[in-house]
């Protein structure tokens, strides 16, 4: 395997060096991608060459662009409606939409600005609409295996012009019972196609698919480069929050941590600008650091950090390069970094010269694997923190007010306000007047009244992490398992199984993959942790680790299954 090690020499190699066409480079620039992630740097030139590939990489590494950008090299204007040049298979509807959107964005300048035509094809959406889209002509199809098989069966998905097939999150697809579908699909594509497989883990079945369907694949893995974290000195903590709650969560964590100076890493320039604005709007003194700034501008920003005018520096990896960092007490990863090595590199900016530092990472539930990869690489556990609650915030603010009043009690000029007390003491008792004065002090101290509770999903994340361990042998296809009425089947090593009632069944067109996909997406569980599944005419029952039942019900309230809202509750026979 080629291990990817982003050594300091390769940083700074931009997308242009990878051999991508100008239209793609322009789109990446507009998206604010400053440089390729390690996996992109490694894979893109090889994929453009036409090599087959077997890559071990989790979500969050930038693997979508790694396989998508080379596909865009194949897009050409032709006569008549477009025919698919690439078929990308993904385990879930959400991923199908996400990958399609990414490809659309990367390819928007192609074909003289008309843009690449991409269609996501997944169960749950009316097939009629997909038929129309396919009929009008597309360059790239992103499909879940089940729906792809449906279309192949109907003759509505022409595959004879396909030059590249990508299996994304291959292990998940196998976990979900799609092995036969995948093989059937691969058998329907031209035999001289390029076959690219990405998987977070490499169970034997992936290797056997590789052996059967790939030609001399390049094997790559997100590497085992520099993994040393100056252990004792850096306190590492991750918080699990949904994306929409990140700005509020960051503010609260900073309130509690009270950094002297913090460096916050974002993925793109756009995110840097947006977060800088948001944090300033929330009353923090934040400065953006941009790749394009010259030395004088950087010095000015650093000066503001040094004299305390700024407390947060928000930057991309590129912009933060070569930063004079002695001041920093905290490094924040606003997202889990794209490669474990960049995590190590980033957090190494604190804990220098014997001083202590704090590394904070905001992770979304889907980034769980990525966090585990980092732990595996650094051989250290990242503590999972709990985002401060509204009650914690109030308690902190009350403590600050108490401190402010205590300080004022020592002031020399208290007697200046004697007249105010005199004027009021005829109307109210002194205790009430004191409370009113404290209220004013409190309002003066308190930052924004951020009174909305941020859902705490860290506990279930941690439990999930504890449960997972190393992956064991696979379960059967989930739809083959049929629990009896009272039967509680253990699911892997996740302890007892609890059951969800889902108010959609065969009549609603539900298939096991829809249920596994929806639950996996919302909960961060892997396919292996979900099951058995029983689908009746009117409803379905799905097994999940017992201790996850309640929070899954909670997160699935607004989830659509096959495009429909449905009841999800505990199944109690
Ligand atoms: P993925 O691993 O493909 O799910 O990508 C994770 C996230 O990283 C997505 O939000 C991408 O938009 C973003 N991303 C991918 N490549 C880059 C890059 N080179 N620079 C900045 N962000 C990127």
Query: Does one domain contain both 484 and 400?
Result: no
Residues 518 and 528 in one domain: yes
Q: Which residues line ligand 1 (CB under 6 A)?
A: 33, 36-37, 40, 59-65, 267-268, 338
Residue 452 lies in a domain: no
What pLDDT score was predicted for residue 465?
A: 56
> What is the CATH number for 45?
3.40.50.300
pLDDT of residue 5: 40
Mean per-residue pLDDT of the chain: 83
Hey, what are 406's tokens?
A: 């205590």
Nearest ligand 1 atom, CA 15: 19
Confidence grade of residue 291 (pLDDT, cut at 50, 70, 90):
confident
Ligand 1 midpoint to CA 343 (Å): 15
Query: Which amino acid residue places its CA nearest to atom 6 of ligand 1?
Result: 60
**Is 465 within the bounds of a domain?**
no
Same domain, 398 and 380: no
CATH number of the domain at 533, please: 3.30.70.330
How remote is the CA of residue 76 from the centroid of ligand 1, in Å?
A: 25
Q: Among 36, 37, 63, which residue has the most ligand 1 atoms within 8 Å of its CB, making it the best to mutate? A: 37
Helix 204-213 to helix 179-187 angle, to the nearest 10 degrees?
A: 10
Q: Strand 540-545 to strand 564-565: parallel, antiparallel, or no bridges (unpaired)?
A: unpaired
Residues 369, 262, single domain; the answer is yes
Q: Same domain, yes or no, for 176 and 110?
A: yes
Same domain, 186 and 83: yes
Which residue CA neighbors atom 14 of ligand 1 most closely? 62
> Which atom number of ligand 1 is nearest to the Cα of residue 316?
21
The residue whose two tokens read 């998987």 is 199
Note the maximum CA span of the chain.
95
Lowest mean pLDDT among 219-233, 265-279, 528-542: 219-233
Tens digits of residue pLDDT in 59-100: 667 899 999 999 999 999 887 789 999 999 998 887 899 899
Q: Specify the residue with its C-alpha closest to ligand 1, atom 19.
A: 36
Number of domains in the chain: 4
Distance 546 CA to ligand 1 centre (A): 34
Domain boundary pick from 400, 425, 444: 444
Atom of ligand 1 lying closest to residue 60 CA: 2
Domain of residue 30 covers 2-221
**Is residue 513 included in any domain, yes or no?**
yes
Ligand 1 pocket test: pick from 34, 65, 169, 199 the residue with the most ligand atoms within 8 Å of its Cβ.
65
From the CA of 61, how far away is ligand 1's center (Å)?
7
Smallest CA-to-CA distance from 517 within 68, 63, 90, 149 is with: 90
Confidence category of residue 188, pLDDT binned at 50, 70, 90: very high
Q: Whose CA is nearest to atom 18 of ligand 1?
A: 33
- Rounded distance from Cα 62 to ligand 1 centre (Å): 4
Of 84-88, 259-263, 264-268, 395-399, give the lowest mean pLDDT range. Answer: 395-399
The answer to whether position 455 is within a domain reads no
CA-nearest residue for atom 11, ligand 1, is: 62
More confident residue, 90 or 411: 90
Range with the lowest mean pLDDT among 302-311, 354-363, 392-401?
Answer: 392-401
**Coil, strand or helix: which one is 437?**
helix
Task: Please name the residue whose Cα sits nearest to atom 5 of ligand 1.
Answer: 62
Which pLDDT belongs to residue 451? 63
- The verdict on 261 and 121 lying in the same domain is no
Q: Please check whether residues 139 and 282 belong to one and the same domain.
A: no
User: What is the DSSP track for 188-247?
Assistant: TS-TT-EEEEEESS--HHHHHHHHHH-SS-EEEEE--------GGGEEEEEEE--GGGHH
Confirm whether 165 is domain-assigned.
Answer: yes
End residue of a domain, out of 389, 405, 426: 389
CA–centroid distance, 338 to ligand 1, in Å, is: 7
CA-angle at 12, arms to 236 and 230, nearest 5°: 25
524 pLDDT above the threshold of 80: no
pLDDT at 6 over 70: no
272 CA to middle of ligand 1, Å?
14
Is 65 domain-assigned? yes
Q: What is the pLDDT of residues 500-518, one digit of tens each?
A: 999 988 888 888 777 887 8
Choose the residue to mutate in 13, 37, 62, 275 for probing ligand 1, maximizing ligand atoms within 8 Å of C-beta: 62
Looking at the structure, tell me whether residues 280 and 210 fall in a common domain: no
Is 453 within a domain? no
Asked whether residue 518 falls in the same domain as residue 546, the answer is yes
What is the per-residue pLDDT for 448? 52
Chain segment 95-115, per-residue pLDDT in tens: 899 899 999 999 999 999 999
pLDDT at 386: 86
Pairwise pLDDT comparison (2 vs 143), residue with the higher score: 143
C-alpha of residue 538 to centroid of ligand 1, in Å: 40
Same structural domain, 405 and 297:
no
């Amino acid at each position: 395997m080629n291990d990817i090690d982003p050594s300091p020499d390769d940083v700074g190699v931009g997308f242009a060096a990878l051999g991508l066409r100008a239209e793609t480079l322009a789109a990446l620039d507009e998206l604010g991608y400053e440089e390729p992630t390690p996996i992109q740097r490694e894979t893109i030139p090889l994929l453009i060459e036409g090599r087959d590939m077997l890559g071990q990489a989790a979500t969050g590494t930038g693997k979508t662009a790694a396989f998508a950008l080379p596909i865009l090299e194949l897009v050409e204007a032709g006569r008549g409606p477009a025919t698919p040049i690439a078929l990308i298979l993904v385990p879930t509807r959400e991923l199908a939409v996400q990958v399609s959107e990414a490809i659309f964005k990367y390819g928007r300048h192609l074909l003289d600005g008309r843009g690449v035509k991409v269609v996501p094809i997944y169960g749950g959406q009316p097939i009629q609409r997909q038929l129309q889209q396919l009929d009008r002509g597309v360059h790239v199809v992103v499909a879940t295996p089940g729906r792809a098989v449906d279309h192949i069966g109907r003759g509505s998905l022409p595959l004879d012009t396909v030059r590249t097939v990508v299996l994304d999150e291959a292990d998940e697809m196998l976990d979900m019972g799609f092995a036969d579908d995948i093989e059937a699909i691969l058998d329907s594509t031209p035999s001289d196609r390029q076959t690219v497989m990405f998987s977070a883990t490499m169970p034997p079945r992936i290797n056997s698919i590789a052996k059967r369907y790939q030609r001399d694949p390049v094997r790559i893995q997100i590497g085992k480069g520099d993994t040393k974290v100056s252990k004792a000195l850096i306190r590492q903590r991750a918080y699990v929050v949904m994306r929409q709650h990140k700005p509020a969560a960051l503010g609260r964590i900073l309130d509690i941590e009270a950094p002297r100076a913090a460096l916050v890493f974002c993925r793109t320039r756009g995110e840097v600008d947006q977060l800088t604005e948001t944090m300033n709007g929330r009353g923090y003194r934040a400065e953006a650091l941009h790749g394009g700034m010259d030395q004088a501008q950087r010095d000015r920003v650093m000066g503001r950090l040094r004299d305390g005018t700024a407390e947060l520096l928000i930057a991309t990896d590129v912009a933060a390069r070569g930063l004079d960092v002695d001041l920093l007490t905290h490094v924040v990863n606003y997202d889990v970094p794209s490669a474990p090595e960049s995590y190590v590199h980033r957090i190494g900016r604190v804990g220098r010269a014997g001083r202590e530092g704090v590394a904070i990472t905001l992770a979304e539930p889907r980034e769980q694997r990525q966090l585990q990869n980092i732990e595996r690489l650094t051989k250290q556990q990242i503590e999972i923190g709990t985002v401060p609650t509204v009650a914690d915030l109030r308690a902190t603010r009350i403590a600050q007010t108490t401190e402010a009043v205590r300080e004022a009690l020592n002031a020399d000029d208290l007697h200046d306000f004697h007249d105010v007390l005199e004027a009021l003491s005829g109307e109210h008792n002194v205790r009430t007047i004191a409370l009113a004065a404290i209220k004013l002090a409190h309002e003066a101290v308190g930052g924004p009244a951020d009174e909305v509770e941020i859902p705490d999903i860290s506990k279930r994340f941690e439990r999930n992490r504890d449960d997972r361990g190393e992956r064991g042998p696979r379960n059967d296809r989930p739809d083959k398992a049929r629990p009896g009425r009272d039967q509680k089947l253990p699911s892997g090593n996740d302890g007892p199984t609890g059951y969800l009632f889902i108010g959609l069944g065969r009549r609603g067109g539900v298939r096991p993959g829809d249920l596994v996909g929806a639950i996996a997406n919302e909960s961060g569980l892997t396919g292996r942790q979900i099951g058995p599944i029983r689908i009746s005419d009117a409803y379905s029952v799905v097994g999940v680790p017992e201790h996850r039942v309640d929070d899954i019900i909670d997160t699935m309230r607004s989830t659509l299954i096959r495009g429909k809202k449905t009841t999800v509750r505990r199944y109690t026979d």
